[in-house]
Structure 1
């Protein structure tokens, strides 16, 4: 019978390194053809609320899954998260229901893990300083995930909110006392002094500009929602970098960072056709030169939710968490 797992059920079940490895294997499986990812589709009655079913199947996990993502910007005025989701997992062989999970924590874990995988393959081995543009819900998970692939010594972060800054600094210091955490006064300061940068904002207009980039840096562009009119980096950032995406079809369909750079004439679609899974499997190269600037652009893949869902489900069963429900009764 399927297991229902709430947000509190999922907390503390898995370690960042486990998630990073599972997500890396999922990217490789997609490249190898042992996993499949459905095209991203959007259901919307107007521009206010978008609903996206993110569906995939994984032979390795033995599961198919679909996460229904609700992107509702108006929720900020209601005191609610702008993005909410629920993940449904079924058996890949017979389609029987296996689990229903709150989607918030799996989304944060897999998003940070995807950035860590990209950082493992694309960032310079000497990277020690992480810059964060945005310090909300994704930020701490990014520090934890990236610390598994590079020996971070310092985190420079920028956020407009004093409350967000205080919460992030406190939680990061508690989880990673070995890392120096410093708030900086501008996105440019977070970018210019960092070896690796993660953009973690739901921005509609660029908050990071390519003119700030320096040779050898790596940038994970992962914060903007899957909306073609939202972007965190400008066209110059894409033009100055070698771009790697999580999925070509998703990037060319829903990534504003990609689509608006193409519309600006900064890059063409051919510059955005290298997938991270192909880098992991060796079908495409990783970092090619010490001075190369690289960008990983991620909209998010349902396959990663399935991979992380498998981890969480197994750990929850081992820990005796969750509620078993007979949906056929």
Structure 2
């Protein structure tokens, strides 16, 4: 059996590789952090976190270009698929799971894949992140098409599962995006769009659930949210495709219709009743002065874009 300390051990090669990554760098100036007062540690951590948006800002042109390509494919029926391991995978699953209630998407439209499957959301699945083949198999089960987009997410940019997902997707003609937190990463090199948000060494050496995780969450927020804006899932900054699945969301639906139209409560209730509670349709009924079936038809003809449907409804 090969010892991790053996000169020819793959562990030694991996250690050498990790030492070249910014996200794994050791910060000697923080070596006494455990001796500091709690408030001082919190201040240091908060100051570290404050640098993340600046790092994201440096990648905005690349992020915007990726979003335009995602939206173009999703408009043709494509899906947005995230693939990652550990924290990166969990962030992808989180972002995907928020799209149905926020934008009324079908659960199959935005999907998060995590190395090791659902079990890996709450516990470590040993070896799953090291398999390119596992990523390819997970995507194959989803019947990947050329209209789909696959976003490989990895703080290090070297995770085999994320790279394998991007390589397999690109071979199938799908759009690919590589999101990492190290410059010159293998993940970015493998993708059509490489987004590298370099946040620097972590407060705790190698703990990429911190700044790197925050950066990935910010970028994933942009990828899904702005794509949905481009697809007509919003009206201004209102979530007009929100799915009213509980009392809080039903109250939010009424408020959104009120903000969009300025109509009195009685008219709002009447419009929502005429459209089976569909916020976008109700707004069109009020502002376009049409009935429920006409609103549904106009929105279908406008590919769900409320502004276009309102224009079509105008006398």
Determine which structure has the larger helix proportion and give its number.
Answer: 2
Structure with the bigger RCO (C-alpha within 8 Å, sep 6+) is 1
Larger radius of gyration: 2
Determine which structure has the larger strand proportion and give its number.
Answer: 1
